[in-house]
Amino acid sequence: MNVLVINCGSSSLKYQLINSDTEAVLAKGLCERIGIDGRLVYQLAGGEKEITESPMPTHKEAIQMVLDALVNEKTGAVKSLSEIDAVGHRVVHGGEKFASSVVLTPEVLAQIEECNELAPLHNPANLIGIHACQELMPGVPMVGVFDTAFHQTMPKKAYLYGLPYEYYEKYKVRRYGFHGTSHSFVSKRTIEFLGLDKNNSKVIVAHLGNGASISAVLNGECVDTSMGLTPLEGLVMGTRSGDIDPAIMEYIAKKENLDIDGVMNVLNKKSGVEGLSGVSSDFRDLEDAYNEGNQRAIDACEVFAYRVAKYIGSYVAAMNGVDAIAFTAGIGENTQFIREKIVAYLGYLGVTLDKEANKVRGEDKIISTPDSKVTVCVIPTNEELAIARETVALV
Q: Which of 83, 243, 282, 354 binds ligand AMP (CB under 6 A)?
A: 282
Give the whole-angstrom CA distance, residue 286 versus residue 318: 32
Q: Which of 284, 310, 359, 373 binds ligand AMP (CB under 6 A)?
A: 284
Q: Which region among 46-54, 185-193, 324-332, 386-394 touches ligand AMP (by CB under 6 A)?
A: 324-332
Q: Is 283 in the site for ligand AMP (CB under 6 A)?
A: yes
Closest to ligand AMP by CB, 7 or 334: 334
Residues 364, 375: Cα–Cα separation, whole Å: 13
Q: For ligand AMP, which residue of 38, 330, 353, 384 counts as binding (CB under 6 A)?
A: 330
12 binds ligand AMP (CB under 6 A): no
CA atoms within 13 A on the CB side of 57: 0
Interface with ligand AMP, residue 275, by CB under 6 A = no
Q: Which residues face 326 on adjacent strands?
A: 205, 377
Residue 331 as a binder of ligand AMP (CB under 6 A): the answer is yes
Residues 147, 259, 261, 285: which is the catalytic one?
A: 147
Cα 336 to Cα 331: distance, rounded to the nearest angstrom:
8
* Min separation Cβ 230 and ligand AMP, Å: 17
Looking at the Cβ atoms of 203 and 273, the one nearer to ligand AMP is 273
Let me know: does 277 contact 300? Beta carbons within 8 Å.
yes
Complex with ligand AMP: residue 300 or 312, whichever CB lies closer: 300
Q: Does 239 bind ligand AMP (CB under 6 A)?
A: no
Burial 33-70 (b: 16+ CB within 10 A, else e): ebeeebbbbbbbeeeeeeeeeeebeebbbbbebbbebb
Q: In the annotation, is 147 catalytic? A: yes
Q: How far apart are CA 280 and CA 274, in angstroms?
A: 5
Cβ atoms of 268 and 261 within 8 Å: the answer is: no
Residues 207-226 that bind ligand AMP (CB under 6 A): 209-210
Q: Give the number of other CB atoms < 10 A from CB of residue 334.
A: 19
Instruction: Count the residues of the shown chain that bind ligand AMP, applying the rule CB under 6 A.
Output: 12
Check: CB of residue 150 under 8 Å from CB of residue 180: yes
Contact 221, 153 (CB under 8 A): yes
Q: Which of 186, 223, 322, 329 binds ligand AMP (CB under 6 A)?
A: 329
Q: Report CA 306 to chain centroid distance, whole Å.
A: 21
Written as one letter, the residue type at 353 is: L
Helix (H, G, I), strand (E, B) or coil at 52: strand
16 touching ligand AMP, by CB under 6 A: no
Among 359, 393, 352, 355, smallest CA distance to 375 is for 352
- Cα–Cα distance, 158 to 222 (Å, whole number): 10
Given the rule CB under 6 A, which of 19-27, 137-145, 159-167, 327-335 is the region that contacts ligand AMP? 327-335
* Contact indicator for 186, 325 with CB cutoff of 8 Å: no
Q: Which is nearer to ligand AMP, 17 or 212 (CB)?
A: 212
Q: Is 359 in the site for ligand AMP (CB under 6 A)?
A: no
182 binds ligand AMP (CB under 6 A): no
Task: Give whichever of 25 and 329 is closer to ligand AMP, judged by the CB atom.
Answer: 329
Rounded least distance, CB 33 to ligand AMP, Å: 19
Residue (252 or 303) nearer to ligand AMP, CB:
303
What is the dihedral sign for C-alpha 366, 368, 371, 375? negative
Rounded to a whole number of angstroms, the minimum distance from the CB of residue 274 to ligand AMP is 10
Minimum distance from residue 333 beta carbon to ligand AMP (Å) = 7
Q: Is 288 in the site for ligand AMP (CB under 6 A)?
A: no
Of 334-353, binders to ligand AMP (CB under 6 A) are: 334-335
Q: How far is the CB of 334 from ligand AMP (least distance, A)?
A: 3
**Closer by beta carbon to ligand AMP, 335 or else 372:** 335
Query: How far apart, in whole angstroms, are the C-alpha atoms of residue 80 and residue 53?
Result: 23
Cβ pair 348, 341 in contact under 8 A: no
Q: Count each helix (H run) and each strand (E run) in the chain, helices first.
A: 14, 14
Shortest Å distance, C-beta 332 to ligand AMP: 8
Residue 383 vs 390, nearer CB to ligand AMP: 383
Q: Which residues bind ligand AMP (CB under 6 A)?
A: 209-210, 238, 281-284, 329-331, 334-335
Q: Show which residues are catalytic.
A: 147
